[in-house]
Amino acid sequence: MPDSSISKLFEKSRKERLDIVANFANLTPDEIETLQNPNGGITFENADKMVENAIGTFSLPLGIATNFKINGKDYIIPMVIEEPSVIAAASKGAKVARIKGGFEASADESYSIGQIQVLDVDVPLAIKKINDSIIDILTLANSKSNTLSKMNKGAKEVFCKEIDTPRGRMLIVELLIDVGDAMGANVTNTMCEAVSPLIEKITGGKTLLRILSNYSTQRIAKAKAVFDKEAVGGEKVVDNIILAFEFADNDVYRAVTHNKGIMNGVIAAANAVGQDSRAIEAAANAYAAKSGKYHSLSKWSKDDQGNLVGVLEIPLSVGIVGGIANVHPVAKVCSKILGVSTAQELACVLTATGLAQNYSAIRALSTEGIQKGHMRLHARNIAAAAGATPEQIDEIVQKMIEEKKISLDRAKELLEQI
């Protein structure tokens, strides 16, 4: 079984890193070449088919987070992100979690929610008529996906709710759809549009919006880990981390930044395998405010032995079939590196990555502060921005750190001296 505990990957050359990843994931020479593509994996011709008015491509760094053990299985996690320290922090968090067995994670089945807005009806009467016609509605919806029907998936339930708006009462009809291993946006929208004429006929009303909801509350993923108190830094550090969590859980200004740190991990990993990061972010932030007040997405406490316990729960709509993951060459290779076989497994991995990242961020904040590690990495970007060559960067970074003057102006001064 592959081992994700890879020591000092950051000290190795690119070729050595690629060799390690290739051995871990059994990559072919063509897949390794795809990772080395200077265009970031897609040509302009690819891009021109993906979006309108394309003029080029835009690349971001792709790195590997190590040390992850999730539900007893080792993973190395591809992460696409421009921010320094995120990949290192996730790897460090996973290393500490690994001491107590790694992450335990679970994810709901892949149920998508489609919504149909119905206007100009007697809402209570319309709801009764819809409830009397559920079988007809489901049959019509499922006729639009032979693939899901053959898998005993597809539209499963119909719900109605009444909402109050400044323009009056509205009926919202919702389809609950098992989309299998897909993210499910296209099939959900197709089913909603297909049943809308039938709903108009049943209710006598007019349908307007017919679209999925990205607030995927039927697709909750949860990850938990125990972080050894000695590896964390002792009982005092454990207590400080819990105090830091309580700050975030009770102050919206801190909670937004705290949750942004969680999403650093989730979104970086999601980007690598071609997921809809905007849908993931929107759902997570809505979930943070589900009580009516915006809270921390993670929960931190300690067990009877004084170890730190972290739990992260988020709605997570992801898929391993369809979408950009089947089109983008690098996303395909990253999916192979990750090695997940179901959408639920992918959701577990993304949630564990977010929890690992959150641990490292609040531990740093609770001890030496976030800047010590972050600015060391950020200094490399500043030196590069000043015009330093790869051979000059290390010298400039070291001098800025020694002086505790990490700025573009100082980097330019040091470059002139060199």
List, by residue number, the catalytic residues. 83, 260, 276, 374
d(CA 112, CA 105): 20
Strand order of the β-sheet with 308-315 is 73-80, 62-70, 103-107, 220-227, 308-315, 298-302
Residue keyed to tokens 């050595």:
16
Decide: 29 and 100 in contact? Cβ < 8 Å.
Answer: no
Decide: 128 and 160 in contact? Cβ < 8 Å.
Answer: no
Strand order of the β-sheet with 206-213 is 154-165, 168-178, 111-119, 206-213
- The residues near 37 (Cβ < 8 Å, ≥ 6 apart) are 329, 330
| DSSP conformation class of 318 | -
d(CA 14, CA 81): 18
- The residues near 129 (Cβ < 8 Å, ≥ 6 apart) are 202, 203
CA atoms within a 13 Å half-sphere pointing along the CA-CB vector of 189: 7
